[in-house]
């Protein structure tokens, strides 16, 4: 580990940066379908935004608790099914990328489920006198 760390620290001053980060980003932007796992991770933000907007509507009272619970259940179910379907149907997904993306989605599912529960408890809490 120490010899590799020394090599990592000595290489840029001696030889410069050998990998151009702009080329890596442009490669990703030119053909995003060759990178399905990072695209899956980026799309995960949409599920979090949906959950946030549902909770805002529930807190404002513009959405009933029953409809909110049904929409939350649909959103959480899609968090589990969508990445699994993409991993199974897209042949360019590597096993390492698939495991990483599915782990991110599993963590997101658990966090959004907890977010929904905590906000429900806060809505049900009686107001302080």
CB distance 54 to 68 below 8 Å: yes
**What is the reported pTM?**
0.72
pLDDT in tens, 25-34: 676 667 666 7
CB distance 110 to 80 below 8 Å: no
pLDDT in tens, 67-104: 999 999 999 999 999 999 999 998 888 888 899 999 99
Tally of CB atoms within 10 A around 129: 3
């Amino acid at each position: 580990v120490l010899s590799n760390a020394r090599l990592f620290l000595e290489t840029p001053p001696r030889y410069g940066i050998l990998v151009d980060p702009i080329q890596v980003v442009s490669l990703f932007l030119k053909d995003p379908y060759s990178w399905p796992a990072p695209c899956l991770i980026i799309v995960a933000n949409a599920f979090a935004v949906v959950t946030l907007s549902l909770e805002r509507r529930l807190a404002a009272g513009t959405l009933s608790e029953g409809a909110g619970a049904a929409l939350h259940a649909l959103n959480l179910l899609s968090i589990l099914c969508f990445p699994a379907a993409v991993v199974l149907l897209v042949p360019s997904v590597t096993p390492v990328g698939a495991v990483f993306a599915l782990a991110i989605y599993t963590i997101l599912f658990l966090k959004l489920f907890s977010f929904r529960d905590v906000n429900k408890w806060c809505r049900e809490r009686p107001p302080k006198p």
